[in-house]
């Protein structure tokens, strides 16, 4: 790792040792963005290299939450899940902090906006510590290092506009990490292997999650019996398989069957239809019980004045964000009542995260749904996001009827037969 990257992530007034035995402010920002709380013992259980990487991720303009989460899996004891804590408003400094600074150390909006996100987070963190310890020197020391450095920096030079890029290229550029991190890939592989081992252990004799029915592959083999490849092909064709619809004597598929390599896809599609073509709830009783997780996101675009009133809690219907969070959680729990053919699931976790982005004039909504079951929780996460967005609209429509709910999408899922998946395109 480049030492310059690490140097940019640490502040002299933190007085953190070179081995980062105590959490630096940048690491605290990474944990807050990832919605994780880590004990000091857990932090020190990480190698020095991993601690440095977490700090560097926390210093980035946009924290790579996925990478931070993967690194934290190495901690013993592991992190606790909390609500995500976002950065302070990039436009207006917190009023309690400006009052605490007083006249000698005034902080106007223009200077505040020029700070790095980590600088703004560090000042807000220093303010909280100064209040908790009743020591104003903590905030003053942070201010005296951060603000003069930014105020004395030359204004940015004008540069020609970049060449037009496709949406995919723009997103790839926005999420590109500050450095290539082979350690993250190694930790991801180790974590995936550990998750697979736990899933196998749960299905072993004496495991917690036992199915009264044999695994799907075993049942499939018994049904096929001695029919060989012809019987397997007929079974893969779904409930509608009949004489004349199957492989020919030479083994080649007839025109009624999908091309080679598409059998699994066709089977997955046909499982939602009865033999007469009617929609039905899929029988998932033969599937393995595994830990499943889905993350979905969406946004509500609104006028800047609307969002400023929202941040100041000056809205006609009261607590907008708290109401939207509860609405999203309740909606996830009732997804099977709203979406036809969805299975009711024993949800182990539903988290709805709300981020008021005044600069981009939107409220970003993210939902995380988890379960240990035989089918996935994608619809629960998407339903939570949608209902939370609609609740925000309902709470604010009295002052802004031009709001737009948009970009409701699945970001990632894990667990089940298909394994992990993550959205790459914008």
The angle, 0 to 180 degrees and rounded to 10, between the axes of the packed helices 228-236 and 263-270 is 50
Helix boundaries (H) for 204-293? 216-224, 228-236, 263-270
Tell me the two tokens of residue 209: 């999650």
Tell me the two tokens of residue 121: 């987070």
Tell me the two tokens of residue 413: 């899922």
Distance (Å, whole) CA 313 – CA 320: 8
* Angle at 182 (CA atoms; ends 177, 183), nearest 5 degrees: 100
| DSSP structural state of residue 40 | H
Are 414 and 397 in contact by the 8 Å Cβ rule? The answer is: no
Residue 394: active-site member: yes
Strand segments, DSSP code E, in 69-178 are 80-81
The angle, 0 to 180 degrees and rounded to 10, between the axes of the packed helices 182-203 and 65-72 is 60
Distance (Å, whole) CA 366 – CA 298: 7
> CA 364 from chain center: how many Å?
12
Strand partners, 347: 371
| Active-site hit among 108, 135, 394, 400 | 394
Q: Please report, for the chain, how many H helices and E strands are present, in that order.
A: 18, 7
Distance (Å, whole) CA 239 – CA 230: 15
Of the candidates 101, 112, 141, 2, the residue with the CA atom closest to the CA atom of residue 59: 2
CB atoms within 10 A of CB 91: 14
Helix boundaries (H) for 103-215? 109-114, 117-133, 136-151, 167-175, 182-203
Residue 186 neighbours by CB under 8 Å, 6+ apart: none
Tell me the two tokens of residue 94: 């917190």
Instruction: Calculate the CA dihedral of residues 313, 318, 322, 326 and round it to 10 degrees.
Output: -160
Of all helices (H) and strands (E), which one includes residue 202? helix 182-203
- Which amino acids are annotated catalytic? 394
């Amino acid at each position: 790792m480049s030492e310059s990257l690490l140097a940019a992530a640490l502040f002299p007034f933190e007085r953190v040792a070179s081995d980062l035995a105590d959490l630096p402010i940048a690491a605290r920002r990474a944990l807050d963005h990832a919605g994780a709380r880590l004990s000091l013992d857990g932090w020190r259980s990480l190698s020095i290299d991993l601690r440095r990487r977490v700090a560097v991720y926390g210093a980035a303009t946009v924290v790579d939450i996925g990478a931070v989460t993967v690194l934290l899996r190495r901690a013993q004891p592991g992190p606790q899940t909390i609500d995500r804590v976002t950065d302070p408003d990039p436009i207006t400094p917190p009023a309690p902090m400006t009052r605490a600074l007083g006249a000698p150390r005034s902080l106007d909006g223009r200077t505040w906006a020029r700070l790095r996100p980590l600088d703004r987070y560090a000042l807000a963190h220093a303010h909280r510590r100064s209040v908790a310890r009743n020591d104003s020197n903590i905030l003053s020391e942070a201010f005296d290092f951060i603000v003069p450095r930014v105020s004395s920096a030359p204004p940015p030079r004008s540069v020609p506009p970049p060449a037009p890029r496709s949406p995919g290229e723009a997103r790839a550029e926005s999420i590109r990490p500050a450095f290539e991190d082979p350690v993250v890939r190694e930790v991801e592989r180790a974590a995936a292997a550990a998750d697979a081992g736990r899933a196998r252990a749960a299905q072993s004799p004496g495991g917690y999650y036992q199915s009264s029915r044999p695994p799907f592959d075993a049942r499939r083999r018994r049904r096929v019996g001695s029919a060989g490849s012809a019987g397997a092909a007929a079974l893969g064709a779904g409930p509608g398989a009949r004489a004349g619809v199957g492989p020919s004597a030479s083994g080649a598929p007839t025109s009624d069957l999908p091309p080679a390599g598409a059998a699994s896809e066709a089977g997955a599609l046909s499982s939602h239809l009865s033999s007469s073509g009617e929609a039905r709830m899929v029988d998932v009783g033969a599937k393995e019980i595994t830990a499943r997780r889905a993350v979905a996101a969406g946004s509500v675009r609104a006028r800047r004045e609307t969002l400023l009133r929202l941040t100041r809690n000056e809205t006609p219907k009261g607590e907008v964000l708290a109401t939207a969070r509860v609405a999203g959680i309740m909606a996830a729990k009732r997804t099977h009542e709203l979406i036809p053919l969805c299975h009711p699931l024993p949800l182990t976790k539903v988290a709805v995260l709300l981020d008021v982005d005044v600069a981009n004039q939107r409220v970003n909504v993210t939902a995380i749904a988890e379960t240990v079951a035989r089918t996935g929780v994608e619809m629960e996460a998407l339903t939570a996001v949608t209902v939370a967005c609609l609740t925000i609209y309902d709470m604010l429509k009295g002052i802004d009827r031009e709001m737009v709910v948009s970009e409701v999408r699945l970001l990632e899922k894990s667990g089940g037969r298909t394994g992990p998946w993550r959205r790459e395109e914008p």
